[in-house]
Structure 1
């Protein structure tokens, strides 16, 4: 008997060939997905677009240092009716050279048009206590540069009647920042205070809170404004309704809390691990194999041509239903959701997601959210995390949470301000951000400026460079 002529052997050989090709492809293409078996610790966090964007941010900062008057003249400040109030929250870190906040601000401004600048009120919130002027290395440089619309510090902005007590409380939390509970309280308070500052000092309908260790993509401002307009259109859909608290389903709420500008692939779902039982692969495989086996047996008897049916012997069925189906289903999950499915461009309701690096809030709920966060800092035990508490607020109030793709922010921080280890901080990372292409973003930036602000703004943008 010639083994190579047996249908079962041929099907097994074909299966091994397909798997070998797939594994080879996955090794070279899925190595940056942290939920993939092909993930590489060595190269998974290699920088591509973020390195390009940092160079652009550095070029802006260099120009600002060389000729601050020219930069200020080109960009000016926010207009009288900004669409968005942006707060960069920062505290001092032990870094050599340029600080995170400087790079973040450089990416905020780099390639920005004057029309975008007029639409955005920028606040820099130095949250160190008691003296950010002396504690934070970037304070003097950014204050002197005079490119922000407002610089916030606790000593300068707390109400006089309660300042002494509040400063004492904030200093106690700040001094005990090695205690996870204390740094949580301080961080949550900072978020609440930043929201409140935008509500009290501007009429902007959108409030963005940015952490200082991010970098923003080219055209982030106009694209975010467009995404926010899309969110408003989504909420006007007559099929939406006012859900009962705690029953927030996609397509249900008629109001929204925040738009997410950063997410990590580890939060994209099915993170159950690589085992055969994870994500119920064993049950899915059993169901698919049983259904496929029944179909083949029925087809072989009733409607498959005899030329095909004679090859579907017991060994072939074993390879297909007993080996191939479970293996392919396991590989599907183990390869990683981000690698196989990714996230198509657009604006979507998403109730999963990680982190608070870059969120844009709906002003309608900002004051209530600020009060909610403030209250969390006074309750016994842990205050809660700055990214989880807004989710709880949204759930309790029946508010949608929305994400926009592609993600327009990347987290570059390795030295955490909240006690996160360097290892874990480095893993808060967007693989998709690194896939962005500079030339494509630049072209889309110009198109969106024309769409939202008009051709004259494009002409001014290209003239001013």
Structure 2
């Protein structure tokens, strides 16, 4: 027993062993920290399938949205008196695109529209024209559980469908064609043709029926944050100022570098963390971690060798060859790998602000520049005629690339994808992964304060006072 304890003490007296134990302790503490704080980052080794998609702010916002929509539909006159409708010259024409889903309980579109309107001021409502597009064919009244109540509720400026808006001369032919696209659920390209045409049709509807300078296309399974409208209008002001910078120039085909074009296509209100990870995965050779490790370890080793020669003997003995091996051969590569493997979104995140950004997933919530909306609608309509049209979220990117148009994102993100039951046969598992963990970090009290500030900046003190009266009555 004495010999064993002496052996342990002798081992612990070795600098290399102590360095290795310290390394194990540090990595263990970091692993505990990462498991606690990085578990919602899908590109992190600490990501948790069980809790990565836990709802925080979205649960609060959905409760607000559902409470509002239920009250508004139960008493349309009261909702009309409180909020009113769009003005004659709205700033944003917003269209929700929805199709009926085979799901129990409330349809996603109910909560989506509720989140659009909940806590909105009358001034914001006058600045936003709200449309709901029921894209079911042949008859949304029988295919979509929410059609009748939203059409009759009077809370939107327009509720429309293919049967109600297609011209009489080609209505039957087009509805039959769209029915064929939607019927074969195993034919991915046929479904794409339908969704691409839906998107183009909704975009064109805003162009044809309003003079709004901005057009928001919103999928029917999202939630919008409190104050989304005022914050979006503020962000749009920022974009217009960005485009007036004299250093910018006319767009050129394929020019996608930030700061080049002086016109823009869309503002992104939703993005997912899967879209802005490091360029590689979590393997040791991804992101050139092995090269970076060598580039860091060699200079560090030289510095430590020089220090060992300069330090007094009682200090330099702590830098023996085993300690140097642990530090430069194990610790440096391990910590560099942990940096990348922890996840870019977890470690760096997305600072608040408006900036050009050419990556991003999905078209859950995009605000388009009217100057290009008509051309984009025509472009997507033509794409829908092809056997393989492409995806409705990728075509606008290609359109922007071809014309040298800027694509812009504003942080924090103001929309969350809440759908789990897909309308286009995406698996439920994949549907849930279209998710913004940053949205879940939003704080209701801060959003409320920012909402008041933005309304004051846009519409003045009177609008704020009226908004507070609305809240007190609500």
TM-score (norm 2): 0.94
1:317 aligns with 2:324: yes
Which of 323, 346, 353 does residue 346 from structure 1 map onto?
353
Aligned to 1:336: 343
Hey, which bits of structure 1, 4+ residues long, moved more than 3 A? 294-301, 303-311
Aligned to 1:388: 394
1:371 aligns with 2:374: no
1:86 aligns with 2:94: yes
CA distance in 2, matches of 1:305, 1:261: 60
What do the CA deviations read for 1:106-146 (whole angstroms, capped 9, x no partner)? 11110000000000001100001111122111111001111
CA distance in 2, matches of 1:309, 1:227: 58
Q: Describe how 1:149-164 pairs up with structure 2 within 5 A.
A: 149-164=157-172
What do the CA deviations read for 1:138-179 (whole angstroms, capped 9, x no partner)? 111001111111112111111233323222221211222431
Aligned to 2:79: 71
Q: Describe how 1:398-413 pairs up with structure 2 within 5 A.
A: 398-413=404-419
Q: Describe how 1:228-243 pairs up with structure 2 within 5 A.
A: 228-243=236-251
State the 1:317 CA deviation: 1.8
Q: Across the two proteins, how many residue pairs are aligned to each other?
A: 463
CA distance in 2, matches of 1:300, 1:108: 65
SS of alignment partner, residue 44 of structure 1: coil
Q: 1:58 to 1:305 in 2, by over 3 A?
A: farther
CA distance in 2, matches of 1:308, 1:390: 63
1:272 aligns with 2:280: yes
What do the CA deviations read for 1:361-380 (whole angstroms, capped 9, x no partner)? 11111111111111111123
Which of 236, 239, 244 does residue 252 from structure 2 map onto?
244
CA distance in 2, matches of 1:276, 1:421: 31
Q: Which moved further from structure 2: 342-351 or 274-283?
A: 274-283
Q: 1:206 to 1:289 in 2, by over 3 A?
A: same
Q: Which moved further from structure 2: 287-296 or 13-22?
A: 287-296
Structure 1 unaligned regions, length at least 5? none
Aligned to 2:443: 437
Which of 50, 53, 57 does residue 61 from structure 2 map onto?
53
Alignment RMSD (CA, Å)? 1.6
What do the CA deviations read for 1:267-305 (whole angstroms, capped 9, x no partner)? 11226332212222222212222232234345555x778
SS of alignment partner, residue 62 of structure 1: helix
CA distance in 1, matches of 2:290, 2:57: 39
Which of 333, 355, 368 does residue 361 from structure 1 map onto?
368
State the 1:6 CA deviation: 2.9
Aligned to 1:183: 191
**Kept in 1: contact 2:252–2:261 (CA 8 A):** no
**Kept in 1: contact 2:196–2:391 (CA 8 A):** yes
SS of alignment partner, residue 2 of structure 1: helix
CA distance in 1, matches of 2:323, 2:251: 52
Q: 1:464 to 1:296 in 2, by over 3 A?
A: same
Q: Which moved further from structure 2: 237-246 or 367-376?
A: 237-246
Which of 84, 87, 96 does residue 104 from structure 2 map onto?
96
State the 1:68 CA deviation: 1.6
What do the CA deviations read for 1:319-361 (whole angstroms, capped 9, x no partner)? 1111111101111111111111111111121111111100111
State the 1:310 CA deviation: 4.8
SS of alignment partner, residue 311 of structure 1: helix
CA distance in 1, matches of 2:456, 2:66: 27
**Kept in 2: contact 1:35–1:271 (CA 8 A):** no
SS of alignment partner, residue 390 of structure 2: coil
SS of alignment partner, residue 274 of structure 1: coil
Q: Which moved further from structure 2: 446-455 or 170-179?
A: 170-179
SS of alignment partner, residue 160 of structure 1: coil
Which of 333, 350, 371 does residue 326 from structure 1 map onto?
333
